[in-house]
Structures are given as structure tokens and as C-alpha cells.
């Protein structure tokens, strides 16, 4: 392999200095003259019909520009899920409906001259509700006689609306009952994930306005600009060509911005008032009315032979999708599709479950996307199995995990809301990841030792995981590269950088292919008018899918350059290569700078603009792999858990930008630690959120972070751009099970429900004496 000049190097992130110097590059950092403020009136009830809505007093208030509600907008069913068409989510949402289905659901929206007037207008809207009985827990959703949450006739794609089942799955391999009866040892465990929230630092926000050509421009904090365009067009009955969506710099997403949250309302208000409309979520709205992870109960039953070989796996999922079914089928599917192939050798598998509606906050996409919940249960079950077998849990995993050259029947059984596709693993450094991680945490030195330090008892635990790199045969990313006459390039990609650094990584891929430093590539991304299509930043797709598109486009541009240069150098293109900003003959060493090529093509001879586009749809989704090791200390007197050290070792193929890849892992690990130790959205008896703020819902601070070590073990993924796979999600799958397993090692308590609060840990330790 030729030495790489740009790939794998810690180049400066293209937006690093602008962001570090506070440049006004976020959605709300522009002031549009004449902008109005949009606000939403939200339901106080978990489940109710809107019997009557009277907005006249609000409309009469001076400074109110318009009020929208179900009576004065088109009724068109759609999904708010930012997924490719045909979205594998029910079309069960409406711009405004005659019914509200969760505390915080949209009732009406106002556009006004100022925030104060908008707030006053909301107070003047009179709504008469007929309160309906509500479904407040997922078990109750399918009970006979439960209220039907989606009883509207025009919703589509709901698996069984009468029983509140948004989506269901049932996948069988082999014969599960035979599998368990043939097993020497069987364990069964159920793990629970509650409501947790993404907490991006920047809440959802949008500015929608009509430009000089009367086109609707939506400047929004989104992960999916192209899906926003398509879905808003549908929701408002507008031609798609009349809409432009721009994603500026955004302040984090993690999946909550893979969704149409405010864009539809803001667009509707902007069209109606013909004024620019600014809308933003308060932090409280971010908790109540954005999206959350799907709370789940996952039951895992494992059967193994006494030598440790897994023989049967059952996974049974009850997923709570909240009031609307966005991402319900695909998150449910991923619980199994991203976990079960990891243990590919068991011949008998049964993966089944359902996603049910409740009158509770709406669940959607969240980093990990079902795999996180699945791994919590699976990796705890594996540890329990190891204990029952009398085998070290590390050895058990080494014995059973998938390896390069292998496949799993799950790949072809489960796709993204449809049939899957068989795939063979071409790159897998998981064994090295496991061994490296074990060494760094001190696995053999610490495990089972229960080292003590005052009231703190130490323990170590581990977990392994895989994810995917994009969605096979569905995700599409495209790139266009234009050559400037001075030998530099402009890279246009639909791919969405949400702080992940994708603009930089894609520039690196282009730069490496074109033989130039990364500074020679300037990137413009995520503008539906000017950049080619990309499904968006989700499913860990950008590096692999968009990266491959960039690679293909860059190769086309390279061919054009070599053809032009061939005319100048008098050598056939096959003897020329791009190196260090020049076209050089491999035979004679003669060369010309790229600037000369660009100038010549633009102005001098046989003029044309050297420009090329390419699209890429992944025919497979090569998984990144990771091994996680946690050392915890448990205060046995109070139940407090401290993570002392956390090691994450990952194989993402070739890390295009090692520092950015590490950053993804580190951030995901800390987010996972937050899940494991503190985060939970608490619900009231009426279905409202009791802790919709950062005072009560705690996320990790810098002072909470343990000693974190992340290591990237390269493998060469032949189908990835320069051997790369993606890495954005896999890191969040490790902490909950690794910490659970470490707590067990420390104090012998198995915890099946996160977060591992002092309350739960102490109860487990049985030091609670009633007074």
C-alpha cells in the first residue's frame, strides 16, 4: 500500500477555528429583518380529543400574525422520521390533529412580532378537550380494552392500530425449542432501558422564510436536510422543487435531529404569514416534545453447550414508541439485527418483539438505535451464562464472536424494515480489541479480587458490540467535485456534519485521491439546492457511504485531470499520477502543477469545467467492532457507583482521522456512562415529564468522567474508502453492560435496570435495614 499523505493524519478540522473563535455559524446566529417568532401550544393531557378550539382572541391580539390549528391546515398523514423513502415508519402524524396523544403534543401554533406577544397569544387560545383514558405503560398498551391511540382512519403503516402495536417483528432461524433442549446450560435475563434523552447542547431550532423567488427556505438544525425537504413538501402539499433546506453548523444531534420536529410548523407559519419565522425549542420542550430513546424491556435467553459454544439465542423485545410510531419498526429491528450477528455461531435463533404506542413522550432515533438496548441485555446475559458455565466471560466471548470471513443468518433475515441481505464480514479485529482492552484494564489482575479502598470495592466488567456502516441497498450518498482554475477543489456533499467532522473526513478522502493537501479542498455541505443528495447523518453512514461517493467522484475528476495533463505532457494518462499537487509522469518524472491543468481546462484549450459527480449505495454494511472494559468502585455503605477507568478499543477499519474517530468513541462512551449511572426521564401519573430540565436530569460533567482510554485497532475493510468503516454509534453500546458486569464483579449484585442509582445499588447490596 502506498504511503498515505492525508488519510490517517490529524489534519485540522475545517470548522475548528471558526467554531473556536465563536463565528456566527449556527442556525439562530443570523438576524433576518422582519422575522416573526413562532411558538407552539401544547397539550396538558396525555390523551384527549380537541372538541373545540377558538383562536379568535389570540388572532385579535395586536402583533399576532396568524394562528394555525387542525381547522385551517391541510390534513395529510406523514411520518416525522427522517428516513429514506419509503419511510419504514407509520404515517401517523399530522401537522395539527383533532386529537392529542401525549402531554406536550401540538395543539396549535402562533406567529407573532415578538416572543412576549407569542406567549400571550398562546394563553388566549381557548381549547376544550374531551379527556380520554390514557395508556401510560407499554404492557397496558395491548391489554384488552386499552384505549386505541391511533384510531384515525387515514393513518397508514401501523402494524395493528386496534391493539396499539406500531410495529412487530418475528425472525426465526433453526428451531429454538430444540436449541434450548439440546443446550447443557440455559440462562434467561430481562433488562430494562427507561426513557433517556439525547440532550444536544443546542435545542431544535429553525428559521423558515420565502426568498426572492418565492421559494420556501428552511434553515434548520437537522441531520437530514433532504428528508426534511421531502417530508415538509408532503406535509404542506407543496412541490418539492419549491423548497430549499440548509443545514448550518448544528449543536449536536445524536438522532433527535434525524426527525422533522419544527420544520413543518415553521414552514407552515412562514407560508401563511409570508414573513420569516424563527422557532426554537426551550430546554423543557426539548425534553418533552423532541424525541427520546425507545424505552425497552429486552428478554434474552441463551443456551450453550458445556464447552461454551452458544447453541440457542432468544431475544424478546417490548419497545415503547410513545405517542407516534417514528422509527418504531427500524429501532425494533436493530435490537436484533445489530446484536445477534455478533454471536453468529448459534444455529437456533428466535428474535421477536413489538413496538407499542403509549400516551407518553415520543421515542425516535438515538445513537445506537436499538442496538444499545439490545446489548445491555445480551452482554449481561453472556456474563450470567459465563458464570453458570464456570468460564471466564472474556473467554466465552472470544469463543463465540464473529470473525472475518464469517457470516450470520441474521444479515439476510433482518433489513431496515424489510428483508435483509446476506453479507460476509470482510474485516474484523475484535479479538485484538478484546485482548488489548483486557490488558489495559488489568482484567486478570483485578477480576474477582474485589480490591478494597475504604468503603469502596472495585470490580471490572466487559462488553463487546458491533454496529453497521450505513444501511445496505437503501442509504445513498452523492458527491460532486469541481476543480478551480488554481488547482484547488470544491467538494459538494449532501452529507451532514453535526460536529462529527464529516466535512473534514470527506475532504481528506478527496485530498488523498487527488494528491493534494486537505487545505486544497473546500467543502460545502447539506444544502438541498446546491449539494447532491445524501440520506443524512444516521446509521453510522457518513464515512462509509458518503465517503465512498467522494472517492468515486474524486477518481472521476482524477481521470479528467490526467486526460488534460496528458495533452500537456505528451504522455498517456496511464503513465501519469497525482502527487503533491502535481501531475507527474511515473516514467520520466516530468510534471506540471495542478494549477496549470485547471487553468488550461478553464481558459486555454478544449475548455470545459473539470467536474464530476458520483453516487454510492452500500451493497453491504461492514460493521465496526468494539470491546469495552470498565473498572468501577462501589461504595458499599451508600450504593454510589464511580467509574474509575473505562477502556474502549474499536476496529473502524482505517481511521480516516484518528483524533476525530477517538472523539466519537470518547463522546459515545461518556454518553453511555450517563445512561448507566444518572439519566432517566421520570414520568408523572398523568404522563407528563417530571424532570424536563438539566437541574433534575443529570448528564455527565467533566468532573464525573473516569480515566478513559480509547484505542483504535485498524483493520483493512476492502469495501470502505481507504479501508474505512464508520464509528459514530458503536461506542454507546458498551458502558451500560460493562458497568453492570463490573458492579457484579465488585459486590455480587446484578442490576437489570438502568440507571444504577445509589438507591438501586444499595437495595441490591441488601444493606437496607427497615427502621
Partner 1 sequence: MKIYFELNGEPVYTEIKPGEMLLDLLRRLGMKSVKEGCRTGECGACTVLLDGKPIRSCLTFAAKAKGHRITTLEGLGTPEDPHPLQEAFAEAGAVQCGFCTPGMILVAYHLLSHNPDPSPDEVRAAISGNLCRCTGYVKIVDAVLTAARWKREGKWRKER
Partner 2 sequence: MAIKRYHYARDVEEALSLLLAYEGRGALVAGGVDVARGLPGEIEGLIDITAAGLSGISREGGRLVVGATATLEGIRTSREVKAYMGGFLSEVMGHVATLSLRNMATLGGAVVSAHPWADIPTALIALGAEAVWRNEERTERAPVEELYARPFRAIFRRAVLTEIRFPAWDGAFAFEKLSRNAGDIALINCACGLGLDAEGKIAWARVAVGATPYRAARLAAVEELLAGEVPSEALWEEAGHRAAVEARVGDDMRASAEWRRAVIPVIVRRALERTAREVKGDA
Taking alpha carbons only, the member of 747, 750, 741, 765 closest to residue 449 is 747
Map residue 536 onto helix, strand or coil: coil
Dump the DSSP string for 94-110.
-SS-SEE-STT-EEEEE
669 touches which of partner 2, partner 1, none (CB within 5 to 8 A by kind)? partner 1
How many chain residues bind partner 2 (CB under 8 A)?
A: 28
**Nearest-approach distance from CB 577 to partner 1, in angstroms:** 31
**Nearest-approach distance from CB 234 to partner 2, in angstroms:** 40
131 touches which of partner 1, partner 2, none (CB within 5 to 8 A by kind)? none
Q: Are 147 and 133 in contact (CB under 8 A)?
A: yes
Adjacency order of strands within the sheet including 48-54: 99-100, 48-54, 126-131
Question: Cα(403)–Cα(620) distance, rounded to whole angstroms?
Answer: 16
Residues 6+ apart with CB under 8 A from 32: 207, 209, 276, 278
**Residues making contact with partner 1 (CB under 8 A):** 10, 12-13, 15-26, 28-29, 198-203, 249-252, 254, 280, 282-283, 498-501, 659-660, 662-663, 666-671, 693-695, 699-705, 708, 710
Pattern 621-640, partner 2, x by CB under 8 A: ----------------xxxx
Pattern 114-153, partner 2, x by CB under 8 A: --x-------------------------------------
**Nearest-approach distance from CB 209 to partner 2, in angstroms:** 29
**Nearest-approach distance from CB 255 to partner 1, in angstroms:** 12
Taking alpha carbons only, the member of 238, 47, 76 closest to residue 156 is 76
Q: Are 638 and 488 in contact (CB under 8 A)?
A: no
Map residue 118 onto helix, strand or coil: helix
362 touches which of partner 2, partner 1, none (CB within 5 to 8 A by kind)? none
Contacts (CB under 8 A) with partner 2, residues 672-691:
677-678, 682, 690-691
637 touches which of partner 2, partner 1, none (CB within 5 to 8 A by kind)? partner 2
Q: Are 374 and 298 in contact (CB under 8 A)?
A: yes
Q: Are 309 and 202 in contact (CB under 8 A)?
A: no
Question: Cα(734)–Cα(343) distance, rounded to whole angstroms?
Answer: 16
For 353, the grid coordinates are: 418483539
Pattern 66-105, partner 2, x by CB under 8 A: ----------------------------------------
For 262, the grid coordinates are: 419544527
Pattern 694-733, partner 2, x by CB under 8 A: -xx-x-xxxxx-----------------------------
**Nearest-approach distance from CB 760 to partner 2, in angstroms:** 9
> Which residue, 23 or 586, is less far from partner 1 as judged by CB?
23
Residue 760: alpha-carbon gap to chain centroid: 29
198 touches which of partner 2, partner 1, none (CB within 5 to 8 A by kind)? partner 1
For 140, the grid coordinates are: 397496558
Between the alpha carbon of residue 709 and those of residues 613, 648, 664, 669, 682, the distances in Å are: 40, 6, 13, 10, 32
> Which residue, 88 or 674, is less far from partner 1 as judged by CB?
674
Neighbours of 698 (CB within 10 A): 16
Q: Are 362 and 323 in contact (CB under 8 A)?
A: yes
> Which residue, 242 or 640, is less far from partner 2 as judged by CB?
640
> Which residue, 158 or 656, is less far from partner 1 as judged by CB?
656
682 touches which of partner 2, partner 1, none (CB within 5 to 8 A by kind)? partner 2
Residues contributing to the site for partner 2 (CB under 8 A):
116, 637-640, 677-678, 682, 690-691, 695-696, 698, 700-704, 757-759, 762-763, 767-771
Amino acid at each position: 500500500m502506498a504511503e498515505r499523505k492525508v488519510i490517517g493524519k490529524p489534519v485540522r478540522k475545517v470548522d475548528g477555528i471558526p467554531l473556536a473563535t465563536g463565528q456566527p455559524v449556527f442556525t439562530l446566529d443570523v438576524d433576518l429583518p422582519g422575522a416573526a417568532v413562532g411558538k407552539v401550544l401544547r397539550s396538558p393531557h396525555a390523551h384527549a380529543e380537541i372538541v373545540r378550539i377558538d383562536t379568535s382572541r389570540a388572532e385579535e391580539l395586536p402583533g399576532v400574525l396568524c394562528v394555525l390549528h387542525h381547522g385551517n391546515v391541510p390534513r395529510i398523514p406523514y411520518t416525522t422520521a427522517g428516513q429514506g423513502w419509503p419511510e419504514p415508519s407509520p404515517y401517523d402524524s399530522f401537522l395539527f390533529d383533532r386529537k392529542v396523544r401525549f402531554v406536550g403534543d401540538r395543539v396549535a401554533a402562533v406567529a407573532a412580532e415578538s416572543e412576549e406577544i407569542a406567549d400571550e397569544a398562546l394563553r388566549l387560545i381557548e381549547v376544550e378537550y374531551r379527556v380520554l383514558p390514557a395508556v401510560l405503560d407499554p404492557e397496558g398498551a395491548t391489554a384488552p380494552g386499552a384505549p386505541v391511540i391511533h384510531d384515525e382512519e387515514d393513518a397508514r403503516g401501523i402494524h395493528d392500530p386496534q391493539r396499539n402495536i406500531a410495529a412487530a417483528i418475528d425472525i426465526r432461524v433453526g428451531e429454538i425449542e430444540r436449541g434450548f433442549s439440546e443446550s447443557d446450560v440455559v440462562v434467561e435475563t430481562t433488562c430494562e432501558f427507561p426513557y433517556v434523552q439525547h440532550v444536544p447542547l443546542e435545542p431544535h431550532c429553525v428559521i423558515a422564510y420565502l426568498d426572492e423567488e418565492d421559494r420556501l427556505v428552511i434553515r434548520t438544525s437537522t441531520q437530514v436536510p433532504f428528508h426534511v425537504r421531502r417530508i415538509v413538501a408532503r406535509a404542506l402539499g407543496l412541490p418539492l422543487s419549491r423548497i430549499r433546506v440548509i443545514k448550518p453548523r448544528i449543536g449536536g444531534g445524536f438522532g433527535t435531529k434525524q426527525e422533522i420536529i419544527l420544520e413543518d410548523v415553521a414552514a407552515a407559519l412562514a407560508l401563511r404569514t409570508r414573513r420569516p419565522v424563527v422557532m426554537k425549542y426551550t430546554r423543557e420542550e426539548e425534553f418533552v416534545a423532541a424525541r427520546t430513546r425507545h424505552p425497552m424491556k429486552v428478554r434474552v435467553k441463551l443456551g450453550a453447550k458445556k464447552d461454551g459454544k452458544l447453541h440457542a439465542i432468544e431475544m424478546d423485545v417490548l419497545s415503547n414508541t410513545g405517542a407516534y410510531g417514528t422509527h418504531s419498526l427500524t429501532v425494533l429491528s436493530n435490537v436484533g439485527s445489530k446484536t445477534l450477528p455478533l454471536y453468529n455461531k448459534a444455529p437456533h435463533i428466535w428474535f421477536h418483539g413489538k413496538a407499542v404506542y403509549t400516551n407518553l413522550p415520543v421515542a425516535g432515533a438515538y445513537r445506537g438505535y436499538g442496538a444499545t438496548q439490545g446489548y445491555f441485555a445480551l452482554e449481561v446475559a453472556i456474563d450470567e451464562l459465563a458464570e453458570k458455565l464456570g468460564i471466564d466471560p472474556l473467554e466465552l466471548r472470544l469463543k463465540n464472536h464473529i470473525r472475518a470471513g464469517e457470516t450470520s443468518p441474521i444479515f439476510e433475515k433482518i433489513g431496515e424494515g424489510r428483508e435483509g441481505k446476506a453479507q460476509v464480514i470482510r474485516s474484523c479485529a475484535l479479538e485484538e480489541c478484546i485482548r488489548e482492552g483486557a490488558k489495559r484494564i488489568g482484567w486478570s489482575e483485578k477480576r474477582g479480587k474485589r480490591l478494597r479502598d475504604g468503603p469502596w470495592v472495585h470490580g471490572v466488567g466487559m462488553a463487546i458490540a458491533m454496529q453497521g456502516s450505513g444501511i445496505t441497498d437503501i442509504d445513498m450518498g452523492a458527491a460532486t467535485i469541481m476543480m478551480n482554475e488554481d488547482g484547488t477543489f470544491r467538494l459538494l456533499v449532501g452529507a451532514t456534519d453535526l460536529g462529527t467532522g464529516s466535512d473534514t473526513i470527506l475532504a481528506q478522502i478527496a485530498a488523498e485521491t487527488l494528491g493534494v493537501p486537505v487545505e486544497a479542498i473546500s467543502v460545502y455541505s447539506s444544502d438541498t439546492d446546491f449539494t447532491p443528495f445524501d440520506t443524512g447523518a444516521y446509521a453510522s453512514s457518513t464515512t462509509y457511504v458518503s465517503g465512498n461517493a467522494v472517492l468515486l467522484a474524486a477518481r472521476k475528476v482524477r481521470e479528467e485531470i490526467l486526460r488534460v495533463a496528458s495533452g500537456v505532457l505528451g504522455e498517456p494518462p496511464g503513465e501519469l499520477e497525482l502527487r503533491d499537487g502535481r501531475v507527474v509522469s511515473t516514467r520520466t518524472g516530468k510534471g506540471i502543477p495542478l494549477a496549470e491543468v485547471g487553468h488550461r481546462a478553464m481558459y486555454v484549450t478544449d475548455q470545459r469545467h473539470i467536474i464530476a459527480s458520483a453516487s454510492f449505495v452500500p451493497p453491504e454494511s461492514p460493521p465496526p467492532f468494539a470491546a469495552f472494559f470498565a473498572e468501577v468502585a462501589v461504595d458499599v455503605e451508600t450504593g454510589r457507583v464511580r467509574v474509575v477507568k473505562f477502556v474502549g478499543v474499536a476496529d473502524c477499519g482505517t481511521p480516516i482521522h484518528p483524533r476525530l474517530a477517538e472523539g466519537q468513541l470518547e463522546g459515545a462512551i461518556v454518553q453511555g456512562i450517563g445512561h448507566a449511572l444518572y439519566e432517566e426521564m421520570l414520568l408523572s401519573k398523568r404522563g407528563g415529564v417530571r424532570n424536563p430540565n438539566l437541574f433534575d436530569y443529570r448528564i455527565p460533567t467533566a468532573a464525573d468522567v473516569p480515566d478513559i482510554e480509547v484505542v483504535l485497532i485498524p483493520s483493512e475493510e476492502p469495501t470502505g474508502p481507504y479501508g474505512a468503516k464508520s464509528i459514530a454509534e458503536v461506542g454507546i453500546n458498551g458502558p451500560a453492560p460493562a458497568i453492570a458486569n463490573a458492579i457484579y464483579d465488585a459486590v455480587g449484585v446484578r442490576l437489570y435496570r438502568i440507571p444504577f442509582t445509589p438507591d438501586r445499588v444499595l437495595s441490591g447490596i441488601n444493606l437496607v435495614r427497615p427502621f
